[in-house]
Structure 1
Amino acid sequence: MSDVKPIVREDMLAQLREDVLWDVVVIGGGATGTGIAVDAASRGLKVVLLEAQDFSAGTSSRSTKLIHGGVRYMKNPRDWGLVREALKERRLLIQNAPHLVHSKPFILPCYKKWEREFYTVGLGIYAAMTYGGYGIGRTSSLSREETMSRLPGVKAEGLMGGVQFYDGQFDDARLAVALMRTAHDQGALTLNYMPVTGIEYRGGWIQSVTATDKETGEEFRIRTKMVFNAAGAWVDPIRRMVDPEASTLVQVSRGSHILLDKSFMPGETGMLIPKTRDGRVLFAIPWHEMLLVGTTDVEQREADFDPKVSDEEIDFMIETASGYLDKPITRADVKATFAGLRPLFNPQATGSAGGTAKVSREHAVLPEFGNMITVTGGKWTAYRKMAEHAMTEATLRHLVAPRLCVTKTLPILNDETWDPAALEVEAERSDAADDKVVAYALYCREFEAARTAEDVLFRRLRLGQMNEARTNELLPKVRAAFAGEAQVEKEVAAVVAATEAAEPVEAKAEAAVEAPETVEKVEAAEVVEAVEAVEAEKDGKAEK
């Protein structure tokens, strides 16, 4: 367990007011942005991380909770290099954050002749790509009986067997918060609810970034040597603060999920449905004592901060999953839904980056506007590699000092003060744990930069994605606790200010005697006079 340190927002804002020149400003507090902040800060650079909402609130808390190589990429041998790279990153993440990422068995149930043999070969190649010590489990062909035993709840009618393989499962929002805290421990300023509202661009170079504190309205001009634009689905609005005519680099698609009671699949093994009518795969995964089903792929015109799951998507997931489960799913069984936006990079629109764009099939690192690097696309599994790629590009362009990357072996912060996974399961089942949730919320406010009740219930705990009804019951309780704490803090601050203003010189001197290092804070003549008065008073009491 790392030593846990409080995150004091006012202290960070005070540092911004000092108007120093920062090495790096990172815009966006999701997987990509927090990853870059960790990489840059761990190299000893002065870093500011700015997030318009809460950390990971936009997209990075709304994934299918998988750290994986990408089974669907196995269809095209040209993508196998990409799969291999992701599988290596999967293993590194399990090593660096075992408290948040773990190996998970999956079974692909087979209902057609030769289907089991076909997928055994394909998933066997997938597992073979982990050569060199990156494997996390062995792929095996299963009989009908073995499939039913290991995957309780699977539809028995017509089942011919299955294929078991392994991938990684994680808690996306808690990993983002842990990365933010790791960056903070490395010296970065990590500020949520600090949207970038302006960029000063002069002489072909970004001079500063303006950010506005949503809580107070205070504006901060942040001078910086360079900027990483890691705003995910919102990278284009950031770019247009520099150039209103900048081309559109990303389009967005929506991936949606539903949450069901675990009784539909009561075991610990996930299920992969290999073919859906929209051309994707669908997962049914035990997660936090519930069953997570997803995802879809629907084009979305606008990048909404809080995308909603459509009725058509819910029906599609219910229909598809029901075809593989013994117990039929109805609308009434859906406890919660959530959707996230995928930023899809358009290689044809490299904008001001021109031919200098560094592009992979999964992500793009685009130098533009002199000292901005836009990083877009990608997936959670590759966040560390994307950050390293971005920092390498910044180094080659002499935007940052050349220093070694250490994130391959850098442990991600593990705070064992609370067990949020156990707490959220307890809270999802009944209101008996409500007081614990409130206590944990106050802890998150001090140590995890939670600013609202939603920050706690949707991202420090995952109740917002697990059970809508219980979340709605808890929201007012956490809001009241936050409001009460804020009022107490305000009253204490007022008392302290009033006490300091009225404090007699004698009291200052007595404190100075007990703590000599504070003597210089009091005028010398006052100290001498007051110390003599205090000592005389003490002598008088002793004589009595």
Structure 2
Amino acid sequence: MFSRRVFLATASLSTAVLASATVLKANADSDTKLDYPIPKVAAPPPKREELIKKLHQASGETPDDVYDILVIGGGATGTGVAVDAASRGLKVALLERDDFSCGTSSRSTKLVHGGVRYLEKAVWNLDYSQYELVREALHERKVFLDIAPHLSFALPIMIPVYKWWQLPYFWIGVKAYDFLAGKQNLESSYLLTKSKALEAFPQLNPEKVKGAVVYYDGSHNDARMNVSLALSAIELGATVLNHVEVTGIDKDPSTGKIIGVTAKDLESSDSENNNTFKVKAKSVVNATGPFTDSIRKLDNFQTQSIVAPSSGVHIVLPGYYCPKKLGLLDAATSDGRVIFFLPWQGSTIAGTTDNPTNISPNPTPSEEDIQFILKEVRRYFEGNLDVRREDVLAAWSGIRPLVRDPHAKNTESLVRNHLITVSDSGLVTIAGGKWTTYRQMAQETVNKCIETFGLAPKRLTTATESLELVGSQGWTNLEYIHLIQMFNLAPNVAKHLSENYGTRAFTVVEFLEPSKLTSDNKDTVSLATATAGKTLIDPYPFLHAEIKYAMRYEYATTAIDFLARRTRLAFLDSRAAYEVLPTVIEEMSKELGWSNARKQKEHDTSVEYLKGMGLQLKD
């Protein structure tokens, strides 16, 4: 392990001293000339207090004191809107009540896909609109993988075949998928014989499988992608804040048109003015996913609800239940629902369900849903593996915000993709859609704001198709090797840093730099440095040093911000997250100056969240 190999907290730490702890020092002290460019250590982003101050300055007293666009909601779509608008030179603010990606955007299946199942519907139903949705999504899939290559990658996905006649049927389907992607296709699909299918996915039951087809879609780290979007928007000049709640929609009393919002800073300790302030904006965008209707009712309490929430439950199993670089999709479940097995972050994701649900900030998967997924999983491994309830490391429920068009004659029918509406008072609502098409949705939303409110961007067209996100610039899949060579990192730690932070991994490593050597022993690294270099808990590669980085560079202000969305430990193993919770709270408390009462609140709130992620505690 990294903690034993690099930062041994003993008197013999001399063998683990990082003599080249910073990028520049590594280059300067070495006699060997490096043949690859060294990413510069990133400057910290604006402090939270500075961003809050900017919001307070948007008083509307002068034309410059008004935001062009104010976005409510810090999920995929909201941060996407902020990036698009800021890249066009518009003055943008984004306010998120909880944390970036705290809801649906962190609870996805982790796929970046065109919708191979929708293509089947398009063919069988002769539905050209479904065909167009798939074609557009395939384009967005390629853009997605290009602008954040460290967070996303092409993943081969197997469709097992149980009857001989299905082989040509599925093969034609995936070839049509390839053809529709055109030049933006990831890799060509292919057939597998029974023996090759079992060789590729040995966990499958050999008595049932006749063969398989394999096609390619994308996989990604959803919450990390969301955080990268927020940071990219800030780099482009946007004022982006988490833990700031919009409590009211402000209107001009003479016209009834929206002129801004009333907001409350949930992290402020200044209780004298109740932490509440007003922010003026020419346009306000509602991008709150499942909570779309709650914001629409702030605008007009009589408005018709448009969200039809559906629950999608996923479970996480150990990595040995799925090949490391091959997923599985099958629609032949006992009730016709699609099931996935996907390798993710060294573990296996299995799911999903699709049931009507109530809207909740922290939806919890039911035991019934977990058992349904386990039952389906056992069907695949029957005779080979016994999948036990105790193998479930984590489980989560994501709310899909399916939407109805309020202007459609048949209001019961759901919108297939996404919906953009503008209320009489001027509230712009963007709802529906999926992770893959977030960028297109954001582009259309910004276009609607420019058109409706006469905004004057410096650039009329979007640049987001080629705008690399934070951590992507100059990144290659060899970055982790550079980290190993320069900092003696364990391979799994280096790969984790590279694939979660991109080129920003070199900034994370700065938090491992030895502080001043003691006068008694010049070869001994300080205990604080030794701790920073340790992993939080085996067998996961997350470092103590990432806690401080998350606070200073990524606006993590709660323990769950870190455990669930800066790292993904809560999604990978809720018990492991629970065990490291005291360490995380203590480290954040030192940096943020928490009182004992705040630390207790963090603990209690975090435990409740982890229970919603499948944590089971004995009474």
Say yes or no: does 1:12 pair with 2:51.
yes
Matches of 2:83 and 2:326, distance apart in 1? 33
Residue among 214, 221, 224 paired with 2:281 = 224
Q: Is the 8 Å Cα contact of residues 278 and 297 (structure 1) preserved in structure 2?
A: no
Q: Is the 8 Å Cα contact of residues 428 and 466 (structure 1) preserved in structure 2?
A: no
Matches of 1:258 and 1:186, distance apart in 2? 37
Say yes or no: does 1:378 pair with 2:446.
no
Deviation at 1:276, TM superposition (A): 2.5
Q: Is the 8 Å Cα contact of residues 420 and 429 (structure 2) preserved in structure 1?
A: yes
Q: Is the 8 Å Cα contact of residues 324 and 346 (structure 2) preserved in structure 1?
A: no
Residue among 292, 297, 300 paired with 1:243 = 300
Deviation at 1:145, TM superposition (A): 1.1
Indicate the residue corresponding to 2:549 in structure 1: 443
Query: Normalization by structure 2: what TM-score?
Result: 0.74
Say yes or no: does 1:186 pair with 2:186.
no
Indicate the residue corresponding to 1:331 in structure 2: 389
Indicate the residue corresponding to 2:592 in structure 1: 486
Deviation at 1:113, TM superposition (A): 2.6
- Structure 2 SS opposite 1:226: strand
- Structure 2 SS opposite 1:60: helix
Matches within 5 A, 1:102-501: 102-131=153-182, 133-202=183-252, 203-216=255-268, 217-300=274-357, 302-325=358-381, 326-347=384-405, 349-350=406-407, 361-402=416-457, 403-414=460-471, 422=496, 430=538, 437-487=543-593
Matches of 1:227 and 1:432, distance apart in 2? 41
Deviation at 1:428, TM superposition (A): 8.0
1:34-71 C-alpha deviation (Å, 9 max, x unpaired): 00000001111111100010000011000000000112
Q: Is the 8 Å Cα contact of residues 226 and 399 (structure 1) preserved in structure 2?
A: no
Q: Is the 8 Å Cα contact of residues 225 and 399 (structure 1) preserved in structure 2?
A: no
Q: Is the 8 Å Cα contact of residues 225 and 371 (structure 1) preserved in structure 2?
A: no
Any gaps of 5 or more consecutive residues in structure 2?
1-38, 60-64, 269-273, 484-492, 501-533, 596-619
Matches of 2:321 and 2:249, distance apart in 1? 51
Residue among 85, 100, 103 paired with 1:40 = 85
Matches of 2:407 and 2:536, distance apart in 1? 46
Any gaps of 5 or more consecutive residues in structure 1?
490-544
Letter in 1 for 2:264: T
Letter in 1 for 2:119: M
Q: Is the 8 Å Cα contact of residues 250 and 344 (structure 1) preserved in structure 2?
A: yes
Farther off after superposition, 464-473 or 14-23: 14-23
Matches of 2:369 and 2:540, distance apart in 1? 34
1:391-425 C-alpha deviation (Å, 9 max, x unpaired): 12222223422522110111111178996862699
Matches of 1:316 and 1:82, distance apart in 2? 30
Query: Normalization by structure 1: what TM-score?
Result: 0.84
Q: Is the 8 Å Cα contact of residues 45 and 235 (structure 2) preserved in structure 1?
A: no
Matches of 1:308 and 1:63, distance apart in 2? 14
- Structure 2 SS opposite 1:112: coil
- Give the 3 Å change call, closer, same or farther, for CA 7–280 of structure 1 in structure 2: farther
Matches of 2:285 and 2:335, distance apart in 1? 35
Letter in 1 for 2:44: K
1:255-285 C-alpha deviation (Å, 9 max, x unpaired): 0100001112244200111233444311100
1:316-348 C-alpha deviation (Å, 9 max, x unpaired): 11111221123121211111101110101112x
Letter in 1 for 2:403: F
- Structure 1 SS opposite 2:104: coil
Deviation at 1:429, TM superposition (A): 6.2
Matches of 1:484 and 1:119, distance apart in 2? 57
Matches of 1:438 and 1:287, distance apart in 2? 22
- Structure 2 SS opposite 1:99: coil
Residue among 115, 136, 153 paired with 1:85 = 136
Matches of 2:320 and 2:368, distance apart in 1? 24
Deviation at 1:111, TM superposition (A): 1.4
Q: Is the 8 Å Cα contact of residues 428 and 463 (structure 1) preserved in structure 2?
A: no
| Higher radius of gyration, 1 or 2 | 1
Farther off after superposition, 118-127 or 460-469: 118-127
Residue identity over aligned pairs, in percent, reads 36
Matches of 1:155 and 1:236, distance apart in 2? 46
Indicate the residue corresponding to 1:63 in structure 2: 108
Indicate the residue corresponding to 2:512 in structure 1: none
Q: Is the 8 Å Cα contact of residues 257 and 337 (structure 1) preserved in structure 2?
A: yes
Indicate the residue corresponding to 1:98 in structure 2: 149
Matches of 1:12 and 1:474, distance apart in 2? 30
Letter in 2 for 1:140: Y
Farther off after superposition, 212-221 or 250-259: 212-221
Matches of 2:535 and 2:470, distance apart in 1? 25
Farther off after superposition, 445-454 or 118-127: 118-127
Matches of 2:425 and 2:540, distance apart in 1? 56
Say yes or no: does 1:24 pair with 2:132.
no
Matches of 1:176 and 1:106, distance apart in 2? 24
Task: Report the RMSD for the aligned CA atoms in angstroms.
Answer: 2.4
Q: Is the 8 Å Cα contact of residues 441 and 453 (structure 1) preserved in structure 2?
A: no
- Give the 3 Å change call, closer, same or farther, for CA 37–54 of structure 1 in structure 2: same
Q: Is the 8 Å Cα contact of residues 104 and 270 (structure 1) preserved in structure 2?
A: yes
Matches of 1:443 and 1:205, distance apart in 2? 42
Matches of 1:17 and 1:11, distance apart in 2? 10
Indicate the residue corresponding to 1:495 in structure 2: none
Matches of 1:55 and 1:165, distance apart in 2? 32
Deviation at 1:89, TM superposition (A): 0.3
Indicate the residue corresponding to 2:11 in structure 1: none
Deviation at 1:308, TM superposition (A): 0.6
Q: Is the 8 Å Cα contact of residues 35 and 384 (structure 1) preserved in structure 2?
A: yes
1:107-158 C-alpha deviation (Å, 9 max, x unpaired): 1111123122211111111111111x11001111110111112223222122
Farther off after superposition, 177-186 or 328-337: 328-337
Farther off after superposition, 318-327 or 465-474: 318-327
Q: Is the 8 Å Cα contact of residues 536 and 544 (structure 2) preserved in structure 1?
A: no
Q: Is the 8 Å Cα contact of residues 28 and 230 (structure 1) preserved in structure 2?
A: yes
- Give the 3 Å change call, closer, same or farther, for CA 329–50 of structure 1 in structure 2: same
Farther off after superposition, 457-466 or 142-151: 142-151
Letter in 1 for 2:444: H
- Give the 3 Å change call, closer, same or farther, for CA 407–269 of structure 1 in structure 2: same
